Amino acid sequence: MSKDVESNQSEDRNFLLDQESVLTDQFSRQGFVVHQAESSEALDYIRAQTAIAAATALNMSAPDDPGAFLNTVDQHVDVGGLNNLRMSVIESLLGLPDFHINYFNCARGLLESLVGNELAMQRNIALSVQLPDDDGSLLPLHSDAWGSECSPFEVVLWVPLVDCYDTKSMYLLPPEANAKWVTQLEDYKDDGVEALFKAIEPEVTWVNIKYGEVLAFTPSVMHGNRVNQTDETRWSFNIRFKGLFTPYSGKRLGEYFMPISVRPASRVGLEFEMPGAFYDS
Amino acid sequence: MTNSQGYRGYITSRPIRGQETPHQVQNMVAREYCRRNGHLYLLSATEYSIPNCFMMLAELLNSLDECQGIVLYSQFLLPQKRTARLRVYEQLITAGAELHAALENTAIRTKADITAFEDTISIVNALPAAPMGGQYDKTIESAEFEAFKLAVL
C-alpha cells in the first residue's frame, strides 16, 4: 500500500458506504431525504389498514381503492368530525401488533444510514389528516427541539398515504438558512410566528412526495404546514426515531420511545457485572 | 395458574426516574391502561417511601393467587438491580400471572416477553454513561430568548 493511500485512510474516519455518503450529504444540506419506500408490501399494508379503520369509523364498508378513498375522505367527514375520525384510526392502528415493524420496514435501511443501527422508535402513532381549506389542523412554524420535549438527535419518518404536494404537504427550512434565521428569532418576539414565517417563506422548501415514497427529516430545523389549498385530503404519519444511546429530552425512553434494535454486543455490555466481591483485607 | 379475576395496581411514594408523581396520577394511568386493555383494575398497593424498600411488592408477589397479575404504574418501579428484577419476573411467571407497566404500555405475559421489557430498563439505567449523560439539556442562557420561545410556541 502506498504512503498516499495510507495517509488518505488515516484522514477519513467516516467509513460510510457510497450510498450512505449520498444520503448523508442530502440530509445535511436539505435537512431531509425523500426516498423510495423499501417495502411496498409494508406500505400498502399500512395504507390498507388505515383506510379500513377510517371507513369503519365512518360507518362505511372497506374501500376497494384505499388511496382514492383517503384522498377524498373530505366527501365523508367535515372539520367537526375530523378529530374523532383521526383518534379512532390511531386507536385501531395501535391495536395492530405489526404496525410498528411495518412502518419501520418502509425505511429500515434509510434510517440505519441516517440515524444508526441501534434505534429507538416512538410508541404512539402521530397521524395528520388535513382536509382542504381546514385551518384547524395546522402546525405553525416551529422547531421540535425548541419546546416540544424533543431531543435534536431525533429524526422524523414522515410517510404519506396519498400524493402530497404544495400546501397539501409540509415545508421546512434547510439547515444553512435555519442557522441564519435562528440568530434573528429575537427580532420577531413582538410580531410572532406568522411574521417569522412570512420572513423565511422565500427560503423554505416544500416537500413534494408521492405515495410510495418516504421522507426522513430533522425536526430540529424550522418546519410546519399551511392551510391545505388543494382539493384533496392529506394523510401522513410522522413517527420519530433516534439512536438508542443518544441523548433524550422530555420524550424519554420508556413511555415515549421503545428500543427496536438492540445489538448483541450492547446486550452483553448491559448485562455485564463485575465478578465477585474483593475486599481490602 | 391464578383463579381470581383482576389486576392489582402497584404505585410508589418515591421519585420515579428523578420525578415525583402524585399517587392520584399514578392510579389514573394504571386505571386507564386497564380500561383500554379490558382488565379489571383492583385497588393499588402503594410502596413505602423508604429508599430501596420493596416490601409492598413482595406482599403482592406472595399473593398472586388472588389476582391475574400486577399493573405497575411504570416499569421503573421495579428494583434497580437486574437480578432482583429477574426474580420478580420468575415469581410471576411461575404463578401464571402477568406483569404490566401502564405508563410504558408494555407487559410480560410469558418468558419470551422478558427481553423486550428488560431492554428498556437496562438501557435507561445505562444512559448516564452515554454521551451527554444520555440527556439533552435545553437550558440556555438568555431568559429573554427563553420567554420568546415560550410565547411563540
CB spacing of A254 vs B75 below 8 angstroms: yes
Average pLDDT rounded to a whole number, residues A238-253: 95
B115 inside domain: yes
Chain B residue numbers with beta carbons less than 8 Å from the beta carbon of A142 are 153
pLDDT at A145 over 80: no
A10 inside domain: no
A118 inside domain: yes
Reported ipTM: the value is: 0.78
Domain ranges, residue A31 = 17-244
Question: From the CA of B118, how many Å to the nearest CA of chain A?
Answer: 10
How many domains in chain B?
Answer: 1
pLDDT at B63 over 50: yes
pLDDT at B57 over 70: yes
A252 inside domain: no
B77-97: per-residue pLDDT in tens? 999 999 999 999 999 999 999
More confident residue, B137 or A51: A51
Average pLDDT rounded to a whole number, residues B30-46: 95
CA quadruple B77, A151, A272, B117: dihedral sign? positive
Torsion of CA A19, A24, A26, A32, to 10 degrees: 120
Average pLDDT rounded to a whole number, residues A129-149: 85
Rounded Cα–Cα distance for residues B72 and B140 (Å): 36
B124 inside domain: yes
Residue in the block written with cell 401502564: B102
- CA–CA distances in Å: residue A172 to residues A23, A35, A202, A207, A241: 18, 17, 11, 8, 18
Q: Which CATH number does the domain housing residue B34 bear?
A: 3.40.50.1390
B118 inside domain: yes
B26 inside domain: yes
Chain A residue numbers with beta carbons less than 8 Å from the beta carbon of B132 are 247
The confidence score (pLDDT) of residue A13 equals 66
Question: From the CA of A78, how many Å to the nearest CA of chain B?
Answer: 27
B35 and chain A in contact, CB less than 8 A: no
pLDDT at B60 over 90: yes
The confidence score (pLDDT) of residue A144 equals 83
How many domains in chain A?
Answer: 1
pLDDT at B30 over 80: yes
The confidence score (pLDDT) of residue A179 equals 94
Strands B7-11 and A119-122: unpaired
A263 inside domain: no
Residue of A145, A253, A271 lying closest to B124 (CB–CB): A253
Partner residues linked to A215 by β-bridges = A34, A158
More confident residue, B135 or A86: A86
pLDDT band at residue A1 under the 50/70/90 scheme: very low
Count of positions (residues) in chain A: 281
For A249, nearest residue in chain B (alpha carbons): B136
Q: Which stretch of A6-15, B3-12, B111-120 has the lowest confidence by average pLDDT? A: A6-15
More confident residue, A7 or B57: B57
The confidence score (pLDDT) of residue A12 equals 63
Mean predicted lDDT score pLDDT of chain B: 89
A90-117: per-residue pLDDT in tens? 999 999 999 999 999 999 999 999 999 9
Average pLDDT rounded to a whole number, residues A184-210: 93
CA quadruple A51, A54, A56, A61: dihedral sign? negative
Count of positions (residues) in chain B: 153
Residue of B74, B119, B133 lying closest to A262 (CB–CB): B119
Residues near A204 by beta carbon (within 8 Å), at least 6 away in sequence: A171, A172, A173, A177, A222
DSSP chain B: ---S-SEEEEE-SS-BTTB---HHHHHHHHHHHHHHTTPPEEEEEE--SSTT--HHHHHHHTTGGGSSEEEES-GGGS-SSHHHHHHHHHHHHHTT-EEEETTTTEEESSGGGHHHHHHHHHHHHHGGGSGGGGB-----S-HHHHHHHHHH-
pLDDT > 90 fraction of chain A, expressed in percent and rounded: 80
For B121, nearest residue in chain A (alpha carbons): A254
* Grid coordinates belonging to A53: 379503520
B120 inside domain: yes
pLDDT at A228 over 80: yes
A12 inside domain: no
CA quadruple A168, A174, A179, A180: dihedral sign? negative
pLDDT at A220 over 60: yes
Mean predicted lDDT score pLDDT of chain A: 92
The confidence score (pLDDT) of residue A140 equals 85
A240 inside domain: yes
Residues near A50 by beta carbon (within 8 Å), at least 6 away in sequence: A66, A70, A89, A93, A127, A161, A235
Q: Which CATH number does the domain housing residue A215 bear?
A: 2.60.120.620
CB spacing of B145 vs A253 below 8 angstroms: no
B103 and chain A in contact, CB less than 8 A: yes
- CA–CA distances in Å: residue B25 to residues A181, B17, B42, B72, B78: 41, 15, 16, 13, 18
CA quadruple B91, B55, B60, B28: dihedral sign? negative
* Grid coordinates belonging to B74: 411504570
B140 inside domain: no
The confidence score (pLDDT) of residue A60 equals 97
Rounded Cα–Cα distance for residues A40 and A87 (Å): 25
B92 inside domain: yes
Residue in the block written with cell 455518503: A21
Domain ranges, residue B23 = 7-129
A269 inside domain: no
A116-135: per-residue pLDDT in tens? 999 999 999 999 999 999 98
The confidence score (pLDDT) of residue B151 equals 59
* Grid coordinates belonging to A181: 434565521
Residues near A15 by beta carbon (within 8 Å), at least 6 away in sequence: none
pLDDT band at residue B130 under the 50/70/90 scheme: confident
- CA–CA distances in Å: residue A84 to residues A79, A137, A140, A160, A230: 10, 13, 22, 20, 23
pLDDT at B73 over 50: yes
The confidence score (pLDDT) of residue A139 equals 83
A65-83: per-residue pLDDT in tens? 999 999 999 999 999 999 9
Rounded Cα–Cα distance for residues B109 and A173 (Å): 46
Distance of CA A102 to the CA centre of its chain: 15
CA quadruple A136, A140, A143, A146: dihedral sign? negative
CB spacing of A259 vs B145 below 8 angstroms: no
A126 inside domain: yes
pLDDT at B148 over 60: no
pLDDT at A264 over 80: yes
For A152, which DSSP code?
T
